[in-house]
Amino acid sequence: MNNKVVKQDPTAQRESFSELLGQLAKNSAAVVHDEIQLVIQEIREKVRAVSTAILTAAIGVVVSFTAFLSLCAALIIGLTSYMTPAIAALFTGAALALIGVVIVFIGYRQLKKSIRNT
């Protein structure tokens, strides 16, 4: 076998090592930058999805509220065969107010309970 020992210049090794370190730093910075851009893109996509969901829910609330008002009008019209229109509207409003107060009270109790548990 040929046992030649090749002597390498130590300055060439230092230069290549420092070049490698420079490339490593450059590549690491690029990876970090790319990761940050990826996180920003994911956040944008989530914000778009959430805003779309909120808009859809808001439209649903408006349509449901309109339907509820129509049902209230139908109830008042139906009750006018048994009482005057003013009394029918008053009766319907009072019943809905009572239901609303009960719902608010239930929500208040749940909120109070959840605050105590935290």
Cβ count near 46 (within 10 Å): 10
Mean per-residue pLDDT, 105-117: 89
pLDDT digits (tens, 9 = 90+) for 81-104: 999 999 999 999 999 999 999 999
Q: Supply the pLDDT for residue 117.
A: 80
> What DSSP string runs through 27-50?
HHHHHHHHHHHHHHHHHHHHHHHH
